[in-house]
Amino acid sequence: MASIWTQPMRGWPTDGIDTETSDSQAETERVLLATLTTQPPAPPKLLAKGLHASYFGKYLLNLPAPYASLDASRPWLMYWCLHGFDLLGVALDMPMRQRGVDTILSFQDPKGGFAGGPAPGHQAHLLPTYASVMALAILNVPEAWEQIDRKGMYEFFMRCKRDDGSFVVCEGGEVDVRGIYCLLVCATVLDIMTPELVKGTDKFLQACQTYEGGFASAAWPTGSLDPNMPTAAAAAEAHGGYTSCALFSHFLLRPVCTASSTEIADIDTHALLRWAVMQQASAMEGGGFRGRTNKLVDGCYGWWVGGLFAVLEGLVRGEDKSGNKADGSADGEWEDEIGRDMLFNRVALQEYILIAAQSSKGGLCDKPGKNADLYHSTNNLSGLSSAQHFVSHSAKQVSLNRESWQASEPPRWLADKLEASGESTADTERRRKEVWANALGWVEDADAIDIVGGEENRVNTTNPVFNILILRLKPFVNYFYGQK
């Protein structure tokens, strides 16, 4: 993949009519061009790991006053710090990990799910539930995992479910595909993914895809009388965060459908691919990603858009045509076509993060001139990881996982519910095995690592769907599925 330094430095064309958006685009190009052209002759610079680790440590222990506005997002603040440490290779000692566990568990709502702050007082919500569960996986204290109230969480999820297959983010809240993603991640890793829970969700996600190919936040009934028209349509424009959450959700639903031999509602993967590659910015903008068409480049979309290609690539090529076919054979068809390159310019994304998104005071930011914050710091590093490491969902690994499955049972309360619904014990076992095998089907090609700036810039490998390290995911998932 080419460096941004070899590309023509041309700005976006204009129609001669100045608007707030065109002015912002011009200013962004000016700032980024100045940053790119004032770097040393041999860019990019090094990843300031020590400085960024100190930044995360400072905010993990003592949040400054402005963060009071994020009081209802405390699980996210912890997740961003903990995952940031993991990506940088910083280990926490046991007292600090236990402190983190105690804090996260204080957010668990007595009626199920996790809230944005200590419960009672804060309301259970799908987004901090994801952040809390992933933080507990990162902290890696198995004694704490048993304290996750899976029954209460399942009941909370069902209270959020709507008849069209969507979910509100909290009781009385709004529908949002980000909430669906957070729910499906938790249901997958905690072994509470059931047909009842996800009934109709694939069709709702299908309706969220816009004419551009990306996904919007939600879909609403169209009221069309034409039987050939969809009964729902996307409610907003395509956006990087919504798109990755919708795509990851689609991926997490596939094994449930596979286990029951039902067809999952299709999404237009080729339109999505076109939309995604078009979000990578020009050389003038540093090679990062934007979140929406004709909007500004932003470091966080290195993850929200750059991170979705590992999943999208697998769907586009089809695992039956890849070098990792279900029978374990390799025909090389896909590798002959593009080798081990990803479907975006991974060099350019790394250069944007290293040159344009690092703050001299520690942490990473949206773009030069912006302040660093925890959200942008962690998502920049996740984007850097997705660009450095070639991770793919391997049909061969999924098959090996199925073969290694050890018979186990779901929680008793859930087994009773499934039996009452008419699902046989064999069908339950088949579905759980399929969900587990697919969740742990990700493999990294060690020969395809591409680290811009040298080995000292390497960050650890994040999982493309769950966004925690691959090495954190496996023990956590195995614990709840009774696998050794």
SS3 108: strand
pLDDT at 21 (0 to 100): 77
Tokens linked to 386: 């997705």
For tokens 């440590």, the residue is 57
∠ CA(356), CA(360), CA(361), 5° rounding?
Answer: 130
pTM here? Answer: 0.91
The Cβ of residue 79 has, within 10 Å, a number of other Cβ atoms equal to 26
The reply to whether 268 belongs to the active site is no
CA dihedral 114, 311, 469, 431 (to 10 degrees): 60
pLDDT of residue 40: 54
Helix (H, G, I), strand (E, B) or coil at 40: coil
Residue 298 is a catalytic residue: yes
Confirm whether 52 is a catalytic residue. Answer: no
Cα Rg of the chain, angstroms: 22
**pLDDT score at 392:** 93
In the three-class reduction of DSSP (H, G, I as helix; E, B as strand; rest coil), residue 358 is classed as strand
CB 55, CB 61: distance < 8 Å: no
The residue from 161, 373, 389, 396 that is catalytic is 373
Per-residue pLDDT, 39: 60
**Cβ atoms of 162 and 176 closer than 8 Å:** no
Query: Catalytic: which of 86, 176, 191, 298?
Result: 298
List 58, 99, 151, 295, catalytic entry:
295
Amino acid at 174: E
**Residue 188, number of CB atoms within 10 A of its CB:** 23
Q: Which residues of 406-419 are buried (b: 16+ CB within 10 A; e: fewer)?
A: eeeebeeebeebbe
Distance in angstroms (rounded) separating the CA atoms of residues 452 and 43: 9
**What is the token pair recorded at 349?**
């994304």
State yes or no: is 300 an active-site residue: yes
Catalytic: which of 74, 300, 389, 433?
A: 300
| Spatial CA neighbour of 451 closest among 389, 370, 380 | 389
- 148: which 2 tokens? 């996750």
Is 376 among the catalytic positions? yes
Count how many Cα atoms sit within 13 Å of the Cα of residue 183 in the half-sphere of its side chain: 33
Among 117, 187, 88, 181, which Cα is nearest to 388's?
Answer: 88
CB 256 within 8 A of CB 195: yes
pLDDT recorded at residue 223: 58
What is the phi/psi pair of residue 361, to 5°?
Answer: -100, 5
Q: Is 366 one of the catalytic residues?
A: yes
Is residue 454 a contact partner of residue 376, using CB atoms and an 8 Å limit? Answer: no
Q: How many CB atoms lie within 10 A of CB 223?
A: 9
- The region that residue 14 occupies, defined by phi over 0 for left and psi between -120 and 50 for alpha, beta otherwise, is beta
Q: What is the pLDDT along the chain (484 residues), one digit of tens a residue?
A: 667 656 666 666 666 777 777 778 777 778 887 777 766 545 568 999 999 999 999 999 888 888 889 999 999 999 999 999 999 999 999 999 999 999 999 999 999 999 999 877 899 999 999 999 999 999 999 999 999 999 999 999 999 999 999 999 999 999 999 999 999 999 999 999 999 999 999 999 999 999 999 999 999 876 555 555 566 778 889 999 999 999 999 999 999 998 988 999 999 999 999 999 999 988 778 889 999 998 989 999 999 999 999 999 888 877 435 444 333 334 443 343 344 567 899 999 999 999 999 999 999 999 988 999 999 999 999 999 999 999 999 999 999 999 999 999 999 999 999 999 999 999 999 999 999 999 999 999 999 999 999 999 999 999 999 999 999 999 999 999 999 8
Catalytic residue list contains 331? no
What distance lies between CA 145 and its chain's CA centroid? Answer: 22
Task: Report the pLDDT value the prediction gives residue 220, as an integer from 0 to 100.
Answer: 81
Q: Which of 122, 161, 178, 239 is catalytic?
A: 239
Which of 352, 400, 408, 402 shows the shortest CA–CA distance to 380? 352
**373 has catalytic annotation:** yes
C-alpha torsion sign, points 186, 188, 191, 192:
positive
Cβ 129 vs Cβ 160: under 8 Å: no
Considering 301, 365, 393, 396, which one is annotated as catalytic? 301
How many angstroms separate the most distant Cα atoms in the chain? 69
Give yes or no: 301 in active site: yes
